[in-house]
A and B are shown apart, each in its own frame.
Chain A
Amino acid sequence: MVCFMASADTIFKEFREHSVAEFFRKNRQMLGFAGKTRSLTTIVHEYVTNSLDACEEGGILPDISVKIESANNGDHCIVRVEDNGPGIPPKLVGKALGMMLAGTKFHRYMQQRGQQGIGASGCTMFAQITTGKPVHIRTGTGTGKVYECDLAVDLKTNRPLPANEKTVDGDFKGLIVEGEFGEVKYDKGEYGVFEYIKRTALANPHAQISFSGPDGDSAIFPRASSVVPQKGQEVLPHPLGITTHELIDMAHHSEDRKLTSFLTNNFARVSAAKIDELRTVMPNFDIDKKPAALTWPEAEEMTKAFQQMKWIAPSTDALRPIGKEQIEKALVNILNPEFMVVGDRKPKVFRGGVPFMVEAAVAYGGNAGRRTAEGAVGGSIIRYANRAPLLFDAGGCAISEACNSIDWNRYDMRDFDVMPITIFVNFVSVHVPYTGAGKQAISDEEEILDEIKRSVMECCRDVQLHLRGKARVGEREAKKKAIMRYVEQLARDLADLSGKGSAEQIQKKLVALVEGKYQKHIEEASLEEIAGEAAAVEHAANGENGNGEE
């Protein structure tokens, strides 16, 4: 349930020599605690992600509430996150929330949100080192008992320090974590908690998330779908998707006696026949040695050998996209757009061995796009990796890069920067190639860039059709309006001039006449018709030239 970033094992090596707190202070940037706004978003992210993952594992529709209050004269924030998940058994609470865990789970190849950040235990430590206070836990697993405690981490030994434990009778099922944090700031901007929650809700239409902020602002993002996403499926890595570093790590943690069995047991598509092929590719390599004895040069040689061999592509079964229908529901629910397109593309593979999939959607109008404090609207690109919003480091991310390389002119979106457009991209993979330890940007590998660009452009094509139609309708509406303002005067004068009929009656007829002409056009708008109309207007303009001579 609690998962760790790639460098977690590095962290634990350091733990032996330094105190956790010291390490934490030194490396907070890479842990997501860089800047006050980002720190608060990271905290909320850790708790919300844990809740979503827990509910998913328990097959529960998540109901999450996030509350942030100001404390200590505005210097501190109290963050309270409550979910309706399966809860944590009391004896595991300390391990889950008060201790940095290392273990074989780190290497499991499974699509999950919690691939980033530092975990809820990191938040516990962050509370301690910025306010000196423990976090408060309250959880129930549906047994009729509710467990409560204050929890801290022993910064020297990395052991949980529960205090004030009590168990009471109660029906509460789920988890409540509440902590007071310093060196944080509540911000309503695009890096703030609110934006994070909104984006989370967009990518998790099965969740209901309510939020209340310190300024008294609150929001509920209601559930748009009652389908609980399928649990992630653990898959073995593909030989082409592995780096030298990862190979060594896996080998050193392996209990297999020989490299051969290590390879066949821990990798996809590695058969006995492939082991034989590997032997011929690396004739001088002792492939029967103990995995734990694998050296860096050997691991390097092996990954190179993998590249020279032909492999069956990895299975894409483990990919868990949000799904076209679910994204549509979420977009309607939260952005209420005038128009939207959700792409529908097949999984792809990068580096030859890592399956991935890009889910792209473009929403136009309604609440789509970003809004500045002054109310100005602009196009926005919202990025996700496995449903988790990526708020930071947009500059170095493959999603931004792919979107920025699109020629908006081609899609009648020249004014993207001031248009009410949201471009939604969810990168789905069991192995997300982040650019850095902050895990906020996806590496710009060629296959990834290409696929993102294609997915977004595919959506943009449909949006363009919509925009064109809209422009046409707008033009006709304007024309209709222009003529309508003359109807009343004309009706009066026609009645007077002819000395017959009432102005009201004539006006009604004229209105129907104008309505009829432009309504028909709006409904039947087609390119041919536009061409015809343009010609007619030109003709009329030419006709008028013959008039003014005085």
Chain B
Amino acid sequence: MAKKDSEAALEKLETLGKNMIAEVMRGSSPEFETAVRSRGNINYDESFGYLRLGEKKETRTFVNVGQARKFMQTVAVASKCKKFLEEKSHTSIRGLFYQLKYSLGDDVEEELFTEQSESNPLIEDLEVALTLKREDLNLNTDRKGVVAGEMTVVDRFGGDETKIDCAKQGRSGWAIPSDVDNGMEFEKVDANYVLVVEKDALWQRLNEDKFWKKEGCILITPKGQASRGCRRLIKKLSQKKLPVYVFTDCDAWGWYIYWAIKTGSMNLAYLADDIATPSARFVGVTMQDIVDYDFLGKLTINAKEVDLKRAQEMMDYPWIARHKEWVNELKTVLKTKKKLEQDALQGPRLSFVGEYLREKIKAKKFLP
């Protein structure tokens, strides 16, 4: 399967090149078409339930003085990625940049790439144009996020095949790789749901409590904002019909983490089909918790300016405004000017976090 994936990417790259050469041989300027990724072409798609790219296309052509350099650079990136795939080697987007930072010739005072800010958007252009992810092009992203639970993964990497049992990773859990598709096989997933916990501290708490074992869930922490690999893993698990519950702070950052997992983000709207999980639900913490759990009333802290501003903005997003539960939640924050951290649940006793989650999930006390 791994072989097949990289072959598909190779084929797409080759086809791109062949089509361009055909244009050149026909005597016309070679062109490259990709979707526009600017805000103006990003819409919330109600039927999909997440942010997607619109129909606007952008074509760049070589024989045009305003586009020639960018066109050449795009092909250079594609050609280099093809080489990575053929060599079965991986690098980061910064590594790619350094591979392409060289002079165009002895008598030309110009580099193929001068800044990484030039090559980064071209990678995204290729991802969109070829409908694949940079991970498919052997470009790694930063790993972030840890997982534990009844799940077995087969990792074919560097010529080796390693079986990873996520239930046997001790206190540290399994670090989520940047690419969970190519060379990765989820051999066995035996769980009732997926729980995404914003903070690593809380994940460690729940891991120590054997929460995932008791509950039969896959316990994930993205350690803050979820990385591409982490979001992709969540999406894949959701596609295995597992419900996804997200557990974050009740503040601007926490909300953002939730909505990025659920509806995707502006920056990665072009990947939304692969990484947005619209079925995700918000389990806590919420303003309603203060009412439901007395002790929490004393553990709130003052909301910061950014939290209030964010809350105000969120009420205007169509994908949030349609949920009156969220509107009420945000209104409460704006009224009380208070926020609540998930850590506060350790107030009465450390293991209360697990009790709280179990109770809420059982009662399906979620925000949509």
Residues of A whose CB lies within 8 Å of any CB of B are 479, 482-483, 485-486, 488-490, 492-494, 496-501, 506, 509-510, 512-514, 516-517, 536-537, 540-541, 543-550
Contacts and interface: CB of A to CB of B under 8 A. Distances in A.
A220 B36 CA distance: 67
Contacts of B36: 546-547
B321 interface: no
A549 B38 contact: yes
B75 A493 contact: yes
A54 to B, nearest CB: 59
Contacts of A498: 14, 17-18, 20-21
Contact of B24 (A494, A499, A536, A547): A494
Given A513-B24, A513-B29, A546-B40, A483 B62 contact: yes
A485 B24 contact: no
Contact of A550 (B69, B83, B120): B120
23 contacts: A485-B105, A486-B104, A488-B104, A489-B76, A490-B72, A493-B72, A494-B24, A494-B79, A497-B13, A497-B14, A497-B78, A498-B18, A499-B14, A499-B17, A500-B21, A510-B24, A514-B63, A536-B64, A540-B67, A543-B60, A547-B121, A550-B120, A550-B267
A516 B27 CA distance: 9
Nearest to A491: B24
B325 interface: no
Contacts of A536: 64
B178 to A, nearest CB: 18
A486 B72 contact: yes
Contact of A510 (B39, B62, B65, B112): B62
Given A485-B110, A488-B105, A489-B72, A496 B56 contact: no
Contact of A543 (B16, B59, B78, B83): B59
B68 A482 contact: yes
A500 B24 CA distance: 13
Contacts of B108: 485
Given A479-B65, A490-B75, A540-B66, A500 B104 contact: no
Nearest to A538: B66
Q: Which 3 A-B pairs have the closest CB atoms?
A: A498-B17, A497-B17, A546-B36
Given A546-B58, A550-B267, A489 B112 contact: yes
Given A506-B24, A547-B36, A548-B121, A489 B104 contact: yes
B275 to A, nearest CB: 17
A490 to B, nearest CB: 5
Give the bracket for the number of chain B residues in contact with chain A. Answer: 35 or more
Contacts of B65: 479, 482-483, 537
Interface of A is mostly: helix
Given A489-B72, A546-B40, A550-B267, A483 B18 contact: no
B79 A493 contact: yes
A212 to B, nearest CB: 43
A496 B82 contact: yes
A493 B76 contact: yes
Contacts of A488: 104-105
B25 A509 contact: yes
Nearest to B77: A493
A494 B63 contact: no
B27 A497 contact: no
A547 B72 contact: no
A490 B71 CA distance: 9
Given A482-B65, A485-B110, A549-B38, A493 B78 contact: yes
A543 B27 contact: no
A549 B75 contact: no
A497 B16 contact: yes
Nearest to B107: A485
A530 B63 CA distance: 17
A498 B39 CA distance: 33
Contacts of B91: none
Given A547-B37, A548-B121, 6 more contacts: A490-B71, A497-B14, A512-B27, A537-B65, A543-B59, A547-B121
Interface in B240-279: 266-267
Nearest to A481: B65
B49 to A, nearest CB: 23
B41 interface: yes
Contacts of B105: 485, 488
Contact of B21 (A494, A514, A516): A494
Contacts of B71: 486, 490
A490 B17 CA distance: 11
Nearest to A540: B66
A496 B21 CA distance: 11
Contacts of B78: 493, 497
A497 B13 CA distance: 7
B270 to A, nearest CB: 10
Contact of A544 (B67, B110, B117): B67
Interface in B56-105: 56, 58-60, 62-72, 75-76, 78-79, 82-83, 104-105
A510 B26 CA distance: 11
Contacts of B67: 540, 544
Contacts of A549: 37-39, 121, 266-267
A544 B69 CA distance: 12
A517 B104 CA distance: 23
A486 B56 contact: no
Contacts of A483: 62-65, 68
Contacts of B68: 482-483, 486
A510 B24 CA distance: 7
A492 B124 CA distance: 22
Given A485-B108, A490-B75, A510-B24, A547 B58 contact: yes
Given A485-B108, A497-B14, A497-B17, A490 B40 contact: no
A520 B59 CA distance: 24
Nearest to B34: A547
A540 B121 contact: no
A548 B125 CA distance: 10
Contacts of A545: 38
A540 B105 CA distance: 27
A496 B104 contact: no
B21 A506 contact: yes
B314 to A, nearest CB: 21
Contact of A513 (B27, B112, B266): B27
Contacts of A550: 117, 120-121, 124, 267
Residue of B14, B59, B75, B117 most packed against chain A (CB within 10 A):
B75
Given A546-B38, A547-B37, A500 B72 contact: no
Nearest to A516: B27
